[in-house]
Amino acid sequence: MVIGAGFASLSAATSLAQAGYRVTVLEKNEGPGGRARVFRAEGFTFDMGPSWYWMPDVFEQYFGRFGHKVADFYELVRLDPSYAVIFGENDFLNIPAQMPALRQMFEELEPGSAAQLDEFLRQAAYKYEVGINKFVHMPGRSLMEFADPRLLVDAVRLDVLQSMSKHVRRFFHNEKLLKLMEFPVLFLGATPQNTPALYSLMNYADLALGTWYPQGGMHKIVEAMVQVAQEQGVVLECAQEVQEIVVEKGRATGVRTASGFRAADVIVAGADYHHAEQHLLAPEYRHYDQKYWDTRTMAPSSLLFYLGVNKKLARLQHHNLFFDEDFNRHAQEIYEQPQWPTKPLFYASVPSKTDASVAPEGCENLFLLMPVAPDLADPEETRERYYHLMMDRLERLTGQSIRDAVVFKRSYAHADFVSDYHSFKGNAYGLANTLRQTAILKPSLKSKKVSNLYFTGQLTVPGPGVPPSLISGQVVAKEVVKENS
């Protein structure tokens, strides 16, 4: 039995079915995908969550496990430019997809930096190879997993003890380049000063492997995963919220939903880990207490707006990062002094620039995201204030009116994450990837008190993000098979 139908849950369910298990997935919401659900309104198709497609090799490897290729399910397009970074009025930086043009851009901003970029990416490539193909596949249940001397050598070379901030500044000095190299960690849950330099592997994923887009939208990945799951015999039941994990003598016997008791030999909880452990289990079977959860460092939540615009928009790429305000100040207001930000950074996605199917002809599909601290009150008046703050800057910096062309608008923030996903503190991305919350220091993928209960997803190993979630499901499935065959 698998609880939830997000990326990690579908990955776990399909991997277990391939290993010979009869698997049922119970999903709370009306459709699969978790945070990657989709909705349609007024002729627009909106991906509700992830919008960046990085690490294409992870997706190919995943579908390859089941005899498929990505191309069997959706057309993948590499974006060029990968994205735009907006630093101010008439100060736009389009990030080239091709390495020669990227090197030239670096060199123009900081003489000598093209060679520095080569060395930075050489080191980042090693971290990516070891991190994504080796370390993230470890279940993180014992220090003995790292006892191999070769792994200790790898760990030293992965720069886990140096901060991302210091690492980047060894190579670059130009302020624009520093922001460009540090931006991926903003979504990992800590400032660059508190994020291990290991995560320069994200820069390799960004600048070397590229930014891609599945035609039809990110939900195409979910549709493909559901198809593969069903090919393997997985049964998916939506609108079936699990209300209790039933345990007898230290062993889960099944789950209870509104429709009654459902027996299970093994349970994998892919729903929010905090919710599954603190609300679905009786107190005596919880390994962690509320104090433990309250002392975890969370990755950001998000204030989102899904907008349908009845005209074409100029001076915007598919992905656009608005860095016209202070990067470090916004990061501090998320992680160190949690509050609604004073002058936030934000992100705008216009997938209709690449994909005509997501908006009516002559229109644009516009998605706004502002990273914010978790566990904040988000009343409608607060959402509206930040909507207009973002739109003021969006209109001024791109030199066009947009608000008067909005024909559809929907907001989404903390309360929605809690309502739809039982998200702990309304977080959007899971636990922060700090050194103290890495590998064995994350919440365990195996219950310490219920012998046949496992966990998967963004609050356990390997961490937040779509590719890590795919891997998380595979890792937990491997542990289930190892211990229950």
pLDDT over 90 at 185, yes or no: no
CA triple 454-455-457, angle to 5 deg: 155
- What is the strand order of the sheet 267-269 is part of? 235-237, 24-26, 2-3, 267-269, 453-455
- Per-residue pLDDT, 294: 95
Q: Which of 21-25, 116-120, 195-199, 349-353 is predicted least confidently? A: 195-199
Model pTM score: 0.96
Nearest to 426 by CA among 306, 338, 347: 338
- Mean pLDDT, residues 377-397: 98
- Mean pLDDT, residues 274-278: 98
| Domains of the chain, CATH where assigned | 2-36+53-75+216-296+432-484 (3.50.50.60), 100-203 (1.10.405)
- Per-residue pLDDT, 330: 87
- Mean pLDDT, residues 13-39: 98
- Per-residue pLDDT, 184: 86
High-pLDDT (> 70) share of the chain, % = 96
- Per-residue pLDDT, 189: 64
**pLDDT, tens digit, 9 for 90 and up, residues 295-338:** 998 989 999 999 999 999 999 999 999 999 988 788 888 878 88
In the block, tokens 């002058």 appear at 343
- Mean pLDDT, residues 67-78: 98
**pLDDT, tens digit, 9 for 90 and up, residues 438-459:** 888 999 999 999 999 999 999 9
- Per-residue pLDDT, 187: 63
pLDDT band at 95 (very low <50, low <70, confident <90, very high): very high
Please state, in angstroms and rounded to a whole number, the distance separating the CA atoms of residues 203 and 192: 13
**pLDDT, tens digit, 9 for 90 and up, residues 173-184:** 999 999 999 988
- Per-residue pLDDT, 149: 59
**pLDDT, tens digit, 9 for 90 and up, residues 147-167:** 565 555 666 678 888 899 999
- Per-residue pLDDT, 134: 83
Three-state DSSP string of the chain: CEECCCHHHHHHHHHHHHCCCCCEEECCCCCCCHHHCEEEECCEEEECCCCCECCHHHHHHHHHCCCCCHHHCCCEEECCCCEEEEEECCEEEEECCCHHHHHHHHHHHCCCHHHHHHHHHHHHHHHHHHHHHCHHHCCCCCHHHHCCHHHHHHHHHCCCCCEHHHHHHCCCCCHHHHHHHHHHHHHCCCCHHHCEHHHHHHHHHHHHHCCEEECCCCHHHHHHHHHHHHHCCCEEECCCCEEEEEEECCEEEEEEECCEEEECCCEEECCCHHHHHHHCCCHHHCCCCHHHHHCCCECCEEEEEEEEECCCCCCCCCEEEECCCCHHHHHHHHHCCCCCCCCCCEEEECHHHCCHHHCCCCCEEEEEEEEECCCCCCCHHHHHHHHHHHHHHHHHHHCCCCHHHEEEEEEECHHHHHHHHCCHHHCCCCECCCHHHCHHHCCCCECCCCCCEEECCCCCCCCCCHHHHHHHHHHHHHHHHHHHC
pLDDT band at 283 (very low <50, low <70, confident <90, very high): very high
Q: Which of 3-7, 297-301, 344-348 is predicted least confidently? A: 297-301
- Per-residue pLDDT, 263: 98
pLDDT over 90 at 485, yes or no: no
**pLDDT, tens digit, 9 for 90 and up, residues 213-258:** 999 999 999 999 999 999 999 999 999 999 999 999 999 999 999 9
Q: What's the whole-number average pLDDT of the chain?
A: 94
- Per-residue pLDDT, 165: 93
Neighbours of 436 (CB within 10 A): 11
